Chains A and B, each alone.
Chain A
Amino acid sequence: EAGVAQSPRYKIIEKRQSVAFWCNPISGHATLYWYQQILGQGPKLLIQFQNNGVVDDSQLPKDRFSAERLKGVDSTLKIQPAKLEDSAVYLCASRLPTGELFFGEGSRLTVL
């Protein structure tokens, strides 16, 4: 069974530029998450989708971050404009009905 696919793996941008990350979850998983993980910390939830609807985006900095999951399958997370503090790994995960999350390899963002 294919896992969660993410791209790009690495991205380096200047502050105030924009960036987009893509995620394709495990087939059939209705719930999709985007997490931000800063080195040495646990994952921080940015947004949770159930099919193509948003369940929780309370910690998403909506002035600069946006995410969509238009057809209830793959998803895109965008940052515009980026700040230095956005340097982190952006993890996508999909979930089994029993609660277990399966993560992609992550997209490492460096903002200079």
Chain B
Amino acid sequence: EDQVTQSPEALRLQEGESSSLNCSYTVSGLRGLFWYRQDPGKGPEFLFTLYSAGEEKEKERLKATLTKKESFLHITAPKPEDSATYLCAVQGSAGNNRKLIWGLGTSLAVNP
């Protein structure tokens, strides 16, 4: 069964303390892995798409990487404004697997 598991559920960092969020997935034929950021009371905001193992993408303090089994969202020197829930979603490439499968998210809090 297709599955996405995110860890940790919650993470609290001090400003400037770098860390990584994990997204482990099981899918038949990866079509794409997506990272989103969600602020309280708002809809998810698109961050990155990764398509194949070894791919990396960066945006400001965020860097997403992908292997055949998991993706990491690395946060370098985070600031309080990076506090949000980070969601991972995976899309397979065949039949019903083309549906997006969502993780439960990692709630990140960055203290000043």
Contact = CB atoms under 8 A, between A and B. Distances in A.
A40 B104 contact: yes
Nearest to A103: B43
Interface string B38-66: 00011111100100000000000000000
Contact of A99 (B41, B44, B49, B87): B49
Closest 8 CB pairs of A and B: A103-B43, A42-B102, A99-B32, A100-B46, A106-B43, A103-B44, A42-B104, A91-B43
Contact of B91 (A42, A93, A99, A106): A99
A57 to B, nearest CB: 12
Interface of A: 4, 40-45, 56, 91, 93, 98-106, 108
B25 interface: no
A103 B102 CA distance: 14
Contact of A93 (B32, B42, B43): B43
Given A41-B104, A43-B102, A99 B31 contact: yes
Contacts of B89: 42
B87 A42 contact: yes
A98 B91 CA distance: 12
Contacts of B68: none
